[in-house]
Amino acid sequence: MISCLQEDKVRLPEELNATEPQRQALGSTLQTQGTTDLEKHLEILVLENDRLKQELNGCQLQLQQLRVSLTGCTGCEHGKENAQLREQTADLQLELGEKTQLLAKLQQHLKDVLQDKTEREERLNKQIRDCHIGLAKQPMPSVKYITKRIEVESSRTKQDLEEAQARNHYLQEQIAIQRRLLAEQEQQLQDSWRTSAQLQAQVMMYEAELERTRGEMLEAFQAMEDEKNQAIEEVFLQARTEMKTVHENLNGVRMNLLSIQPALKTLTSDYNCLKNHVRDFPCLLQDAVNQTKREIYQAVEEAQKTNQDLLRKYKREMQLRKKCHNELVRLRGNIRVLCRVRPINQDDGTGLDTRNIISFDSDDDAVLYVSHRGKTSMFELDKVFQPHAVQADIFQEVQALITSCIDGYNVCIFAYGQTGSGKTYTMEGSPEDPGINQRALRLLFGEVAERSADWDLTITVSMAEIYNETLRDLLGSDPQKIEDLTMRNLLAKDPNEKLEIKLSPDGSGQLYVPGLIQIRVQSVDDINKVFELGRVNRATDFTNVNERSSRSHALLIVSVTGINLTSGVRTTGKLNLVDLAGSERVGKSGAEGPRLREAQNINKSLLALGDVICALRSKQPYIPFRNSKLTYLLQDSLSGDSKTLMMVQVSPMEKNVNETVCSLKFAQRVRSVELGPVVRRAENQHYSSRQDYELESPSAAPQQGRFNISHSGGKTTAGKRRLMASGEVNHRQSPAALPAL
């Protein structure tokens, strides 16, 4: 509607701005049409004014409505904006009012002008008519004058009209400006409306939310109320049932109380009775204690008696067991032959010839098998120790033999075998893992300590070696080399002095070695010192100790003498621990000179030992003790009821097969003698190809021709080494002369 008005308002000024011919035309139009156009314009302006007034009223109404709707949100930003807008609108309204008044004034003025013009036109028209009449009566020059006057008056009118039009134009512009402002206001109003609508929608949404939440809360409240009522009801019911139960219980308790009263009476009387008992209890207790004590003393006495009885029986059993053991060993010829197979170690290398050729029977620890060139031979001994056996296992087997020397028996333990088969390892061992020698002495110390209440026992040791059939004392040293003065006197000796084995001058037929040093030992320290001395002496005079040791027999002679403190009975036992020279047949390799002599001497002594053991085991009437220095020296420890153990050492490697077989044959021969005929031995020897092995070991059976008739020393009387009549001493030196460490 506003844009339509804007289009219409420009028509009048264009007409007012017309050119001279147009103006003339307008003049003629005015003459013909009179005031028609101006009136039309006036009407239009009045209409427009009315319309604007209506529009303004409409706006005011809307504004009123907006004010009403916006009263809710006074505090917010839009409220402020609205207030501003309202102020602006009020200003605009004021301005509009002023302008409307101005317009009214203008309209009034225009009306006056038009009125004036109309009057003038009428006057002019009258004049024209008068002029026309006069003209008709008068000549031309006066007409000219009138025309001129009209023109002049017409131009003034035109000027007034133009002014009026210009004013009108100005007013139109003002109205347009006002309209634009009104449109902007309208636009702002619409924005405010929109914002207000949004806010209203939000408010409605919040209200709906509030309503919903209130509804939910009401529901929850209602539910809680219901729940509470239900819980109260339940609790009430429960309380009622509980009350009922309590009442019932109360009734029961009342009943019980009624029934308990007699029981209480009984209890009270019982209590009184017990009180009386308690009063009497200490006396009763004392009586009972005394009675029990008496019974216990009696029982203890009886137990002591039984214990003593049992102890007596136990001792008797022990003696019997010892006797049985001794008898068993005696029955087996007092000679046991054991075999120890050493392990293959890193020093042996990894060649083919270091392969293991020995196997064992898991069910029989007295058997071993040697496999070579596709053939397997079985050897049977008293016991076989496999490579994994440790020093303690070996000692376990021999310790009974060792303790028997305290009881007065003579014992010999030999280590037999080729060089490198483990003889020294078994007898001496290493400081960390000692062998039979040190363990034997430790065991003897233990036994001596155990028997110290009844026996005064003395242990002495000697160390000797037999090399090339010569006996040498290993404890004697060059006096210059002994720092300790007291020891110098005791140990001073020419290291190369050859010792002799002699018959005791007391006519007892005993043998002794004049000058052989015996040292009394009382502790492990003492043993270590003695062993060290022996080792040093052995090493001092020979460049290659190992070589030397493999060609000489080393003897550790332990003597145990005892005096029974109550009976005064004396006993003497001797333990000979012998690390024999290597059993390998050196002579075969074509050795000459001293080496050949060494080999011959070794062969001779080992052969003699075999012969002696065989002869002893087969209970021959003659034992060839004198065939070697070794057997001669050990004569009294091999004969009679002495006990002998031969530990045959073998290497399990293929390269040692010949020596291993020879050693095992020797062992088997020694062991099987007791079984008599060769038949049995042949049964055990499954290897048929004897020629496969070099059979240069001692002969397979004792040859009668070899046995020398021993001198009377060989017939040492049985039982002489056991508990003997007082005064019988077996050692060769006077005990007073014994050096002690």
Q: Which residues bind Mg ion (CB under 5 A)?
A: 423-424, 549
| Residue number, 627 or 649, with CB nearest to ligand ADP | 649
Shortest Cβ 373–ligand ADP spacing (Å):
25
Question: Which residues sit opposite 492 in a β-bridge?
Answer: 477
Shortest Cβ 355–ligand ADP spacing (Å):
17
Helix (H) or strand (E) holding 689: none
| Residue number, 9 or 538, with CB nearest to Mg ion | 538
Q: Tokens 């307008």 label which residue?
A: 26
Find which of ligand ADP, Mg ion, none residue 476 binds, CB within 5 to 8 Å per kind: none
Q: Name the residue type at position 670.
A: V
| Cα separations in angstroms, 589 against 585, 595, 656 | 8, 11, 15
Find which of ligand ADP, Mg ion, none residue 629 binds, CB within 5 to 8 Å per kind: none
* 417 touching ligand ADP, by CB under 6 A: yes
SS3 652: coil
> Which of these, 56, 60, 61, 58, lies nearest to 100 by C-alpha position?
56
* 420 touching ligand ADP, by CB under 6 A: yes
Shortest Cβ 521–Mg ion spacing (Å):
23
| Cα separations in angstroms, 631 against 393, 505, 664 | 28, 21, 21
Find which of ligand ADP, Mg ion, none residue 420 binds, CB within 5 to 8 Å per kind: ligand ADP
- Whole-number Å distance between alpha carbons of 518 and 490: 9
Find which of Mg ion, ligand ADP, none residue 601 binds, CB within 5 to 8 Å per kind: none
> Which of these, 243, 293, 95, lies nearest to 182 by C-alpha position?
95
**Do β-strands 364-372 and 455-467 pair in parallel, antiparallel, or remain unpaired?**
unpaired
The one segment of 37-45, 415-423, 448-456, 665-673 that binds ligand ADP by CB under 6 A = 415-423
The one segment of 132-140, 148-156, 416-424, 655-663 that binds ligand ADP by CB under 6 A = 416-424
**Of these, 510, 550, 644, 697, which contacts ligand ADP (CB under 6 A)?**
550
Shortest Cβ 603–ligand ADP spacing (Å):
17
CA quadruple 110, 114, 116, 118: dihedral, nearest 10:
180
| Residue number, 572 or 649, with CB nearest to ligand ADP | 649
| Cα separations in angstroms, 724 against 325, 404, 734 | 20, 15, 18
- Whole-number Å distance between alpha carbons of 109 and 164: 9
Find which of Mg ion, ligand ADP, none residue 342 binds, CB within 5 to 8 Å per kind: ligand ADP
- Give the relative orientation of helices 36-70 and 141-331 as an angle to the nearest 10 degrees: 30
Find which of Mg ion, ligand ADP, none residue 688 binds, CB within 5 to 8 Å per kind: none
Find which of ligand ADP, Mg ion, none residue 429 binds, CB within 5 to 8 Å per kind: none
* 41 touching ligand ADP, by CB under 6 A: no
Residue nearest to ligand ADP (CB): 422
Please name the residues in contact with 444: beta carbons below 8 A apart, sequence gap of 6 or more: 402, 403, 405, 406, 459, 558, 560, 575
Q: The tokens of 670 are what?
A: 């020694």
Find which of ligand ADP, Mg ion, none residue 196 binds, CB within 5 to 8 Å per kind: none
Find which of ligand ADP, Mg ion, none residue 343 binds, CB within 5 to 8 Å per kind: ligand ADP
Measured in degrees and rounded to the nearest 5, phi and psi for residue 465 equal -135, 150
**Of these, 157, 172, 421, 710, which contacts ligand ADP (CB under 6 A)?**
421
Cα angle for residues 205, 209, 210 (degrees, 5° grid): 115
Q: How many CB atoms are closer than 10 A to CB 643?
A: 25
| Residue number, 41 or 342, with CB nearest to ligand ADP | 342
- Whole-number Å distance between alpha carbons of 676 and 701: 10
CA quadruple 270, 274, 276, 279: dihedral, nearest 10:
-170
> Which string of x and - marks every residue 504-543 that binds ligand ADP (by CB under 6 A)?
----------------------------------------
| Residue number, 117 or 340, with CB nearest to ligand ADP | 340
Residue nearest to Mg ion (CB): 424
| Residue number, 379 or 416, with CB nearest to ligand ADP | 416
> Which of these, 534, 577, 625, lies nearest to 405 by C-alpha position?
577
Find which of ligand ADP, Mg ion, none residue 72 binds, CB within 5 to 8 Å per kind: none
**Of these, 82, 410, 419, 605, which contacts ligand ADP (CB under 6 A)?**
419
Shortest Cβ 411–ligand ADP spacing (Å):
21
| Residue number, 409 or 425, with CB nearest to ligand ADP | 425
| Residue number, 391 or 564, with CB nearest to ligand ADP | 391
SS3 677: coil
| Residue number, 103 or 556, with CB nearest to ligand ADP | 556
* 570 touching ligand ADP, by CB under 6 A: no
* 168 touching ligand ADP, by CB under 6 A: no
Please name the residues in contact with 92: beta carbons below 8 A apart, sequence gap of 6 or more: 178, 181, 182, 185
> Which string of x and - marks every residue 308-347 that binds ligand ADP (by CB under 6 A)?
----------------------------------xx-x--
Q: What is the footprint of ligand ADP within residues 645-664 (CB under 6 A)?
A: 649
Find which of Mg ion, ligand ADP, none residue 610 binds, CB within 5 to 8 Å per kind: none
Find which of ligand ADP, Mg ion, none residue 417 binds, CB within 5 to 8 Å per kind: ligand ADP
Q: How many CB atoms are closer than 10 A to CB 100?
A: 16
The one segment of 266-274, 366-374, 419-427, 618-626 that binds ligand ADP by CB under 6 A = 419-427
Using CB under 6 A, count the residues that bind ligand ADP.
Answer: 13
Shortest Cβ 422–ligand ADP spacing (Å):
3
Find which of ligand ADP, Mg ion, none residue 649 binds, CB within 5 to 8 Å per kind: ligand ADP
- Whole-number Å distance between alpha carbons of 575 and 518: 13
SS3 418: coil
* 434 touching ligand ADP, by CB under 6 A: no
Shortest Cβ 428–Mg ion spacing (Å):
8
- Whole-number Å distance between alpha carbons of 490 and 41: 172
730: exposed, middle or buried (C-beta count within 10 Å: 0-12, 13-18, 19+)?
buried
| Residue number, 476 or 582, with CB nearest to Mg ion | 582
Shortest Cβ 418–Mg ion spacing (Å):
10
The one segment of 187-195, 225-233, 294-302, 418-426 that binds ligand ADP by CB under 6 A = 418-426
Helix locations, 404-474, DSSP H:
423-427, 436-450
Running DSSP on this structure, what letter comes out for residue 227? H
* 422 touching ligand ADP, by CB under 6 A: yes
- Whole-number Å distance between alpha carbons of 34 and 159: 17
Cα angle for residues 159, 161, 164 (degrees, 5° grid): 110
| Cα separations in angstroms, 636 against 289, 427, 508, 609, 707 | 65, 21, 12, 13, 17
Find which of ligand ADP, Mg ion, none residue 157 binds, CB within 5 to 8 Å per kind: none
**Of these, 424, 458, 537, 572, which contacts ligand ADP (CB under 6 A)?**
424
The one segment of 207-215, 413-421, 609-617, 704-712 that binds ligand ADP by CB under 6 A = 413-421
SS3 492: strand
Find which of Mg ion, ligand ADP, none residue 551 binds, CB within 5 to 8 Å per kind: none
- Whole-number Å distance between alpha carbons of 390 and 386: 9
| CA 573 centroid distance within chain | 59
Shortest Cβ 630–Mg ion spacing (Å):
16
Binding region for ligand ADP (CB under 6 A): 342-343, 345, 417, 419-425, 550, 649
